[in-house]
Amino acid sequence: MTPEEKNKLDELVMRAFTLAYELGTNLDDLHRQFRELRFNTKDRDLEAALINVEHAFFMVAQSINILKEQTRNALIPARKAQTREGK
């Protein structure tokens, strides 16, 4: 791995984690508002629709977690290259 590739990877990983953090924070807040609406409604059709929305929020949160995990995994080649260069 070239130093340029490592720098670019570091930059992209930082951007991905920043994005994931911001998305997660906004997602949590919006999810909480939908959940409050679901608990406060007496309309069964609306409640059912909001349960589906909550499920979609869960799926997005899982996707964000996968994004973070795979981004961490992208650092493995950089670590391996660093180890090889250190030998």
Closest by Cα among 58, 78, 83, 75 to 17: 75
Structure confidence at residue 76 as a pLDDT band (50, 70, 90): confident
Q: Where are the domains of the chain?
A: 11-82
List pLDDT tens digits, range 16-44: 989 988 998 899 999 999 999 999 999 99
Structure confidence at residue 86 as a pLDDT band (50, 70, 90): low
In the block, which residue shows the tokens 């030998």? 87
pTM surpassing 0.85?
no
Structure confidence at residue 87 as a pLDDT band (50, 70, 90): low
Q: Which amino acid is at 55?
A: H
Question: DSSP per residue over 19-52, as a string?
Answer: HHHHHHHHHHHHHHHHHHHHHH---HHHHHHHHH
